[in-house]
């Protein structure tokens, strides 16, 4: 005679259900902890890779800055005027650096595609907004020069006077309600200039630590015409064409090409520069990192005054 198993009692069914639920909770907890550990390990690897990439980028871009210092230092030793025919004005062509970044130079397949390029620009090829203030006073000749430049850039000429007054207020030590003194051209908006006007003027102006003249050997015709009172764009263009054939070695050489009655002011124009902008570009695959440095040449020494990095994506053609 066969015996059928006794049906499970409600108590036993509850015990089995509790055991199954406990097992599921344990499995879920173990899976969660395992996933968390994997994520933390992955995150640590990503942080280490990012830090290594940042360190590599830093010393590569430092190399671009050192290159510019060497070029400018050698140029200072030769002396004379600064013009666009000198070695510092020749851009550093993009060079592949993947081989140097690889740990094993014989195995570069896994090395990142790294390229470095750079260029040096004469900061004194633009009108220096710092010239608007001469000590505690507004410099009227420079305000007029900026007003002429505003007309060329299709910006209201009244902006020149208001910008000069705001910059004067910002530089006064005892001005409690004055805006903060800007340290770069992007910060000029603190003085009340709107973004569109600054965009139109950007290619013609710069903000340097001290007053500087415009270099006739490197400036655009619009900047030259604005810096020299009474000079029109046609005559400024003639100066640009002449300097391409033979750079001006002195102001007297440029003065000889000007109409009677127009005089070059040594405080506002020159043929030499001491401030330069160095741009180093590092390209890693599709990522691009630009570093812009403002340097000052003091005799044969070249000092970096500021450095700014901008990251972006390489544009595809």
pLDDT in tens, 107-123: 545 556 778 888 999 99
Going from the C-alpha of 185 to that of each of 68, 126, 205, 298, the distances in angstroms are: 22, 12, 8, 23
Tally of CB atoms within 10 A around 31: 10
Residue 277 has what pLDDT?
Answer: 95
Interval 48-70: pLDDT, tens? 655 655 565 666 677 778 888 99
Residue 226 has what pLDDT?
Answer: 96
pTM (predicted TM-score): 0.77
d(CA 100, CA 80): 37
Residue 269 has what pLDDT?
Answer: 97
Interval 211-249: pLDDT, tens? 999 999 999 999 999 999 999 999 999 999 999 999 999
Segment (H or E) for 291: strand 287-298
Q: How confident is residue 38, by pLDDT bands cut at 50, 70 and 90?
A: confident
d(CA 170, CA 241): 39
Higher pLDDT, 250 or 38: 250
β-pairing verdict for 127-128 and 114-122: unpaired
State which fold the 46-123+274-313 domain adopts.
3.30.1300
The length of the chain in residues reads: 317
Task: Decide if pLDDT at 316 tops 50.
Answer: no
What are the residue ranges spanned by the domains of the chain? 46-123+274-313, 127-270
């Amino acid at each position: 005679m066969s015996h059928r198993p006794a049906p499970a009692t409600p108590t036993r069914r509850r015990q089995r259900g509790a055991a199954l639920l406990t097992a599921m909770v344990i499995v879920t907890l173990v899976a969660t902890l395992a996933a968390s550990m994997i994520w933390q390990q992955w995150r640590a690897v990503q942080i280490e890779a990012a830090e290594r990439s940042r360190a590599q980028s830093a010393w590569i871009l430092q190399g671009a800055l050192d290159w510019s210092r060497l070029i400018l230092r050698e140029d200072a030793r030769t002396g004379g005027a600064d013009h666009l025919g000198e070695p510092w004005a020749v851009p550093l062509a993009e060079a592949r650096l993947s081989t140097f970044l690889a740990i094993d130079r014989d195995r570069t397949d896994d090395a990142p595609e790294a390229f470095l390029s750079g260029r040096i620009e004469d900061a004194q090829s633009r009108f220096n907004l710092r010239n608007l203030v001469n000590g505690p006073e507004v410099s009227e000749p420079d305000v007029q020069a900026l007003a002429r430049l505003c007309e060329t850039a299709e910006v209201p000429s009244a902006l020149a006077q208001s910008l000069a007054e705001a910059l004067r207020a910002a530089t006064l030590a005892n001005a409690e309600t004055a805006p903060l003194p800007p340290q770069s051209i992007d910060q000029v908006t603190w003085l009340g200039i709107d973004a569109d006007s600054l965009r139109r003027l950007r290619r013609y102006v710069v903000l340097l630590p001290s007053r500087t003249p415009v270099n006739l050997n490197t400036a655009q015709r619009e900047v030259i015409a604005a810096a020299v009172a009474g000079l029109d764009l046609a005559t400024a263009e003639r100066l640009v064409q002449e300097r391409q054939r033979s750079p001006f070695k002195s102001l007297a050489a440029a003065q000889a090409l000007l109409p009677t009655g127009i005089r070059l002011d040594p405080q506002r124009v020159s043929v030499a520069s001491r401030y330069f902008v160095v741009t180093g570009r590092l390209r890693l695959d599709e990522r691009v990192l630009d570093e812009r440095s403002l340097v000052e040449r003091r005799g044969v020494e070249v000092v970096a005054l500021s450095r700014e990095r901008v990251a972006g994506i390489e544009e595809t053609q």
